[in-house]
Amino acid sequence: MNQIDTILADKHFLPEDGIVIFADARSGSTWLMELLGHIPGSIINWEPLHKERGVVPVNFNWGDRPYIPLDDTHEAYQDCIRDILSLRKYSDWTIGKNSPEGLVKGKIVLTKFVRANLLIPWMCQQVKFKHKPLLLMRHPIDTCLSQLRAFGSRTNDYGEIPSGINNARFTHHRKMMKQAQNDLEYKIVLWCINNMPILENPCLGDWVEVVYYEDLIIDPRKQLRSILGRIIPYVHIPEVMSLIPLRAPSETNLHGGLENSPVKQLYKNIDAIGYSQKERIQIIFDHFGLKLYDAFGPYRTCSKLSL
């Protein structure tokens, strides 16, 4: 056993006690995780579902955005997710954001997922979280443009069905995937395929607390105080807030800083595409029934989801 193994072997975390962030990739989850990482005693559990660097057994074939239905009876899947949330299952990469000293002092596991939105119903059925998990929502245009800048398109065939269990949703929407005229439209279609089943679920509010990226950008202090109020005793909130650099960029920010104006930050991606492209994206939104956002502005078009 190495030093990390020895430290974690002495910990007895329960999956129910942890803090969980769900989000799509490039939705601001690293920033939110870093802010909440100032909670004393928190240990960061970084992207445990990553296909190469995470801890899900290869033979599970979960793919890049796994979906497990509520009636699934695979005990190995249940054991895996509980072991992930309690840090009984980890890799050097998933715990690499922590110092040995931080692990020694750790009292609560903070897990960040950008591949698990479709697992929310199943996971919340398996684990009765003491702190309601957070679902960070960011405008899909904003999110997908950021994904393209960070990762590229990664495909030359928009009709290719991603591998993984329970992937019939891609076959069902393959025609829409193939109709994409560029990488952005393809990413938008995938975003809808992987998020609309959750956003349309009337039980979403029972499972998670939805945090909106635009609210976090405009008034991070208010949003964080609200989040912390559900996690730590009220008397400790001022101390934790004093430790948090509210306008510092995350380590995954590609340009090394945020815009001086939060409003400018919200508009910079939306303003980068033309009106005709926005019209085509709106057709995609309409096809999937997305009402929370439209293609013409960075703010949600209804006050909140029907939670």
Per the domain annotation, does 304 fall within a domain? no
Per the domain annotation, does 184 fall within a domain? yes
pLDDT for res 261:
84
d(CA 126, CA 73): 11
Range of the domain at 162: 3-288
- Asked whether 45 and 94 are in contact (CB, 8 A), the reply is yes
- Which segments of the chain have a pLDDT < 70? 1, 247-259, 303-307
Q: How many folded domains does the chain comprise? A: 1
pLDDT for res 1:
60
pLDDT for res 74:
97
pLDDT digits (tens, 9 = 90+) for 94-127: 999 999 999 999 999 999 999 999 999 999 999 9
CATH of the domain at 278: 3.40.50
Per the domain annotation, does 153 fall within a domain? yes
How buried is 64 (Cβ within 10 angstroms: 0-12 exposed, 13-18 middle, 19+ buried)? middle
133's CB contacts (< 8 A; 6+ apart) are 19, 20, 21, 22, 120, 124, 207, 208, 209
Per the domain annotation, does 295 fall within a domain? no
Q: Which helix H or strand E contains 135, and what residues bound it?
A: strand 134-137
Which backbone phi and psi does 121 adopt, to 5 degrees? -60, -50
Q: Which residues of 164-175 are buried (b: 16+ CB within 10 A; e: fewer)?
A: beebebbeebbe
Per the domain annotation, does 303 fall within a domain? no
Per the domain annotation, does 247 fall within a domain? yes
Per the domain annotation, does 13 fall within a domain? yes
Per the domain annotation, does 297 fall within a domain? no
pLDDT digits (tens, 9 = 90+) for 139-166: 999 999 999 999 998 788 999 999 999 9
pTM above 0.85, yes or no: yes
pLDDT for res 29:
97
Nearest of 21, 10, 15, 19 to residue 40 by alpha carbon: 19
